[in-house]
Chain A
Amino acid sequence: MDRTLNKRILRDLRKNIGRYLAVTLMITLGVYLVVSIVGSADMVIVGTENAKEINQVEDGQFSAFLPLTEREIEGLEARRTVIEEHFSFDVSVADGVELRVFQTRKEVDLIMLEEGRLAQASGEAVLEKNYARAHGLRTGEVINVLGHSLKIVGTGSVPDYDAALKTFSSPAADAHAFGLLFVSKEQYEEFRELSGKTEEYVYAYRLGEETADELKERIKALDFDYEKIGIPCNLTSFVKAEDNLRIAAAAGDVIMDKRTGLAAGVIVLILFAYVLSVFIVRQIEGEQSVIGALYSLGVTKGALLRHYVLLPTLLALLAGMLGSALAFSPWGIGVMAQNTYDYFSIPTFEMTYPVYLVIYGVGMAPLICLIVNVITINGKLSRTALSLLRNEQTGNSRKQFQLKIKSFTLLFAVRQLLREARSAVIVVLGMLITLMVVTLGINTYVLCMSVRDHNIEDTKYAYAYALKYPEKNVPAGGEGVYQESLSIDCMGYQLDVSVIGLDGKSRFFDAKPEKGKSKAVVNRSLVQRFGFAVGDKITLEDRTTDQNYSFTITGISEYSVGFVIFMDAASMRELFGEEEGYYNVVYSSEELPIEEGRIYSVTTKEDIENSSSVFLDTMMTLVITLISAGIIIFCVVMYLMMAVMIDRSTMGISLIKIFGYRSDEVRKLYLNGNTAVVAVGGLITIPIAKFLIDKLYPSFIPNVACSMFLEYSWQLYLELYLGLMLVYFVVNALLLHKINRITPVEILKDRE
């Protein structure tokens, strides 16, 4: 019997090919997107993990004020721990463009070449791959550094600059403004002397028979000549690999894509499965008497249930296979990973085919479809043969009650809406899901714009000089501040917080910190991310000394560049054990004549502007993709559901056309209810979608130290609502065409 019945499937498919094709394509698109996103995330995560043994990624790094002696390093390496100097200095190669110069690594954080070979002699260099691409530089070409021409012999990446952040507190990697240059030892020495800059004394380590904490204690215990450096400790930073924002940053970034993608995939698939179930329910309703006849002839409910769920399940299976095949094709995972490759400095990983993802891609859609359809259809097939044969209208007390509405048009629209409540619910749920997708895109855009605009607006200085060897007096024209870097835990990520000590009123910052070692003013970014308020406590950690610092918040500064707290400078010096008048950063409105050798780094307003725009540039593709995907899903779901509503009302529409109803009157009766659903649904779902995405949003970017300004202006809300209604009216216009095609003869056909 099943086989005989199932012969109808192809006929049903042919009859309703448009709608089935639309849902199948939507499921295919959904599976393709989810598997591509999750697959690309997996590829990066697994690739990063696999690359660890090849590139000998560090277990951590520490920096010292002065270089360690060979003997000290030998001592530290006694427990089979490998330590390698990763000294570097930054050179300016163009206006606003800097290269960090390293020697070619030999033991830790090895260069993974994208092409070419390592630099072996003077005059040769390997460029970080994203910088090379951003500047259109290729292997074999020449780059000018400090007046010397270097031949680019290779491009590649290193695992300790997976996210090529200039500093740990940089908001974003910007390959246009900052890159890495690896040269031979001789070339490095030559450049160092030429640049006149002091080096950053960073040591990378791979642990042997000890823990990182044990190594740290041994470093602290080294017998430094403190008088020589004038500070109580030579160790200036100690960062474990897991706390290093630059290491495995891509894998850390995409892990959220993976989790979100898998969860969002299930939600979207449930939506489409429900859409398919509405088609089947509609079919069953139209075949009640046939089903009754089949029951009376001995066909079982199980056989019919299998028959009715077969088509949607097969379509979902087909869509799952197509979507997965596309995702694992060159147009899938590779394309989706391109954004990651564009932003992060990672090797080109080999494609992976995780078994769970293949099963998810191929099997999740039919499984969900099967479950949703069985649940939905079961009730429809549970009536008696006689009841079905008579085509009895069953009363639904929830839908059929008296209404005291005087306007017939309104009354009819409400009745119609109650009748089509199931489809209306799907339309609203579809709206919510699509609005969440769209809101995610808009939030990303708003945040990027806000970060860019606020960073530019709040940066009142033109130059920020971080000094390694400050003079006793602050250079004329500059404002000297004492600045330290602590960290705050954000969903498992250690994000840098700058602590800025201000002497009185500042020209560049609006904060007015009170005196006291445990009092601080926090900036707007911290408030937006962590919800701090005046009177709250904020606890920050010094990862070098493992010491925690707790501050009572006495005010909020509007300054929003990164995470910053402001303290009274004297109190801060006392807290961190610095002498009176000590400063290490100079802010100024103009370039200052500070000796190169004293400078650790210079940040200009232009740097801030450029790096702030990177967010927007890198995220724009995602923003457009999310908004487009949202609109497409919205259109398809709305059209299909409303088309089903109209199909269910074909007889009614035909009937009232017989009575002489005009097209506009038919539209008012049958579509105005939908307009109300969308109009009211939009008013409800927009704030819900916004609320939910705002709650989820920080978890999408836990590793980025930036503000969380996600507020929409009322104009934006209005535009979103009007956009929603505009899309609806386009769908509505298409549906009107469908209504116009229904002739009075339909009802006669049904009779015959």
Chain B
Amino acid sequence: MYLEINQLKKSYGKDESFIQVLKGVTTGVKEGQTCVIQGTSGSGKSTLLNCIGGLDTIDSGSVKVAGQEIFGLSQKALAEYRRENLGFIFQFYNLVPNLTVKENIKICEHISKNPLNMEELLETLGLTEHQNKFPFQLSGGQQQRCAIARALIKNPKLLLCDEPTGALDSKTSRDILVLLEKINAKYHMTMLIVTHNNSIKNMVHKVIILKDGLIKKDYENEVRVPAAELEDL
């Protein structure tokens, strides 16, 4: 397993405001797999992604990425872990508003030891003609493509996507999912996609469904539907 999660627990608050978000999650994802983490609001899917990404602390349990234990790492070591292994894509893109498309991508290229080719990536993501535009000059889909390019430029081993189509219309969502599918095939990256969209689970290798902080379902798709053919996005 590339990603191994064992009895992961995470809570917030104390006394009356105490809430146990993850109550002992155990699962795993193989290298190069795409995986959807699905669940209703408050099920703990984003918290699980944040714990895997080393953005949030873990109460107990274990998270291993490529054999490396995340639990107990210092902030400095977590930063190195993210730097070496991860790419992030967010629902609201989180582009730096005063940087152009190319400059936004450079943020991650700058700290990468072995970055992908910028021009090729821009071409792949259809951003070549937009590379000198600022985020406010782009549509939502273009902004998300820029965010994907920024995540990919590092050539990460694990790509974490938090509601990557959450702010997009269905056509643009499909375009983005097609793109992610293409990237997975081309770069063989392991992808975790947090979503509340029920259709997306049909395009990935593995599906994890969370409910109230516990895994309700955890299975691999025997047959995957290409992203371009997904319905009800």
A contact set with B: CB distance below 8 Å:
392-395, 399-400, 402, 408-409, 411-412, 415-416, 418-419, 651-652, 655-663, 665, 743-745, 747-748, 751
- B72-108 at interface with A (beta carbon < 8 Å): 75-76, 79-84, 86, 88, 90-92, 94, 96-100, 103, 106-108
A660 touches B103 (CB 8 A): no
Complex contacts, B71 vs chain A, CB 8 Å = none
16 CB contacts below 8 A, A to B, read A393-B97, A393-B136, A395-B136, A402-B100, A408-B103, A408-B109, A419-B98, A651-B94, A658-B55, A658-B82, A659-B88, A659-B108, A660-B86, A743-B75, A744-B55, A751-B162
Complex contacts, B99 vs chain A, CB 8 Å = 412, 415
Q: How far is the CA of A290 from the CA of B134 in the complex (A)?
A: 24
| Interface residue? B110 (CB, 8 A) | yes
B contact set with A: CB distance below 8 Å:
46, 50, 53, 55-56, 75-76, 79-84, 86, 88, 90-92, 94, 96-100, 103, 106-111, 132, 134-137, 154, 162
Pick from A419, A655, A658, A661: contact of B53, CB below 8 A.
Answer: A658
Complex contacts, A411 vs chain B, CB 8 Å = 103, 106
Complex contacts, B132 vs chain A, CB 8 Å = 402
B92 touches A751 (CB 8 A): yes
Complex contacts, B55 vs chain A, CB 8 Å = 658, 744-745, 748
Complex contacts, B110 vs chain A, CB 8 Å = 408-409
Complex contacts, A744 vs chain B, CB 8 Å = 55, 82
A interface majority secondary structure: helix
Which one of A399, A652, A665 has the greatest number of beta carbons of chain B within 10 Å? A652
Q: How far is the CA of A659 from the CA of B81 in the complex (A)?
A: 10
Complex contacts, B75 vs chain A, CB 8 Å = 743
Complex contacts, B53 vs chain A, CB 8 Å = 658
**A744-B55, A751-B91 known; A415 and B111 CB under 8 Å?**
no
Q: How far is the CA of A400 from the CA of B103 in the complex (A)?
A: 12
Q: How far is the CA of A596 from the CA of B108 in the complex (A)?
A: 92
A660 touches B96 (CB 8 A): no
Q: How far is the CA of A703 from the CA of B100 in the complex (A)?
A: 61
B98 touches A415 (CB 8 A): yes
Complex contacts, A395 vs chain B, CB 8 Å = 134, 136-137
A437 to chain B, nearest CB (A): 34
Q: How far is the CA of A461 from the CA of B83 in the complex (A)?
A: 78
A660 touches B90 (CB 8 A): no
B193 to chain A, nearest CB (A): 16
A268 to chain B, nearest CB (A): 31
A748 touches B50 (CB 8 A): yes
Complex contacts, B46 vs chain A, CB 8 Å = 748
Q: How far is the CA of A659 from the CA of B84 in the complex (A)?
A: 9
A655 touches B98 (CB 8 A): no
B94 touches A655 (CB 8 A): yes
CB closest residue in chain B, given A419: B98
B94 touches A660 (CB 8 A): no
Q: How far is the CA of A201 from the CA of B178 in the complex (A)?
A: 109
Q: How far is the CA of A409 from the CA of B106 in the complex (A)?
A: 10
Q: How far is the CA of A399 from the CA of B76 in the complex (A)?
A: 34
CB closest residue in chain B, given A744: B55
A751 touches B90 (CB 8 A): yes
B88 touches A658 (CB 8 A): yes
Pick from A392, A416, A656, A748: contact of B107, CB below 8 A.
Answer: A656
A392 touches B100 (CB 8 A): no
**A395-B137, A665-B111 known; A660 and B98 CB under 8 Å?**
no
5 closest A-B pairs by beta carbon, nearest first, are A660-B83, A393-B136, A660-B82, A419-B98, A408-B110
Which one of A411, A656, A751 has the greatest number of beta carbons of chain B within 10 Å? A751
Q: How far is the CA of A747 from the CA of B90 in the complex (A)?
A: 10
B42 to chain A, nearest CB (A): 11
Q: How far is the CA of A393 from the CA of B88 in the complex (A)?
A: 22
Complex contacts, B91 vs chain A, CB 8 Å = 751
B131 to chain A, nearest CB (A): 10
Q: How far is the CA of A745 from the CA of B75 in the complex (A)?
A: 12
B82 touches A659 (CB 8 A): yes
Besides A656-B107, A747-B90, 12 new A-B residue pairs in contact (Cβ under 8 A), listed by A number:
A395-B134, A402-B100, A408-B106, A408-B109, A409-B110, A411-B106, A412-B99, A659-B107, A659-B108, A660-B79, A660-B80, A744-B55
A401 to chain B, nearest CB (A): 10
Pick from A394, A408, A660, A743: contact of B84, CB below 8 A.
Answer: A660
CB closest residue in chain A, given B86: A660
A193 to chain B, nearest CB (A): 89
Complex contacts, B96 vs chain A, CB 8 Å = 652, 655
Q: How far is the CA of A236 from the CA of B99 in the complex (A)?
A: 80
B111 touches A660 (CB 8 A): yes
Q: How far is the CA of A425 from the CA of B179 in the complex (A)?
A: 44
Which one of A392, A394, A655 has the greatest number of beta carbons of chain B within 10 Å? A655
Q: How far is the CA of A655 from the CA of B111 in the complex (A)?
A: 13
A400 touches B107 (CB 8 A): no
Complex contacts, A392 vs chain B, CB 8 Å = 136
Complex contacts, B81 vs chain A, CB 8 Å = 660
B86 to chain A, nearest CB (A): 7
B185 to chain A, nearest CB (A): 24
**A393-B135, A402-B132, A751-B91 known; A661 and B98 CB under 8 Å?**
no
Complex contacts, B82 vs chain A, CB 8 Å = 658-660, 744
Pick from A418, A656, A745, A747: contact of B98, CB below 8 A.
Answer: A418
Q: How far is the CA of A400 from the CA of B137 in the complex (A)?
A: 11
Q: How far is the CA of A744 from the CA of B54 in the complex (A)?
A: 9
Complex contacts, A409 vs chain B, CB 8 Å = 110
Pick from B111, B134, B135, B137: contact of A659, CB below 8 A.
Answer: B111
Complex contacts, B90 vs chain A, CB 8 Å = 747, 751
Complex contacts, B98 vs chain A, CB 8 Å = 399-400, 415-416, 418-419
Pick from A418, A652, A661, A751: contact of B111, CB below 8 A.
Answer: A661
Q: How far is the CA of A663 from the CA of B80 in the complex (A)?
A: 11
Q: How far is the CA of A412 from the CA of B98 in the complex (A)?
A: 9
Complex contacts, B88 vs chain A, CB 8 Å = 658-659
B90 to chain A, nearest CB (A): 7
A76 to chain B, nearest CB (A): 82
Complex contacts, B134 vs chain A, CB 8 Å = 393, 395, 400
Q: How far is the CA of A147 from the CA of B41 in the complex (A)?
A: 103
B156 to chain A, nearest CB (A): 10
Complex contacts, A662 vs chain B, CB 8 Å = 76, 79-80, 83
Complex contacts, A748 vs chain B, CB 8 Å = 46, 50, 55-56
Q: How far is the CA of A418 from the CA of B88 in the complex (A)?
A: 27
A524 to chain B, nearest CB (A): 55
A389 to chain B, nearest CB (A): 14
Q: How far is the CA of A186 from the CA of B154 in the complex (A)?
A: 103
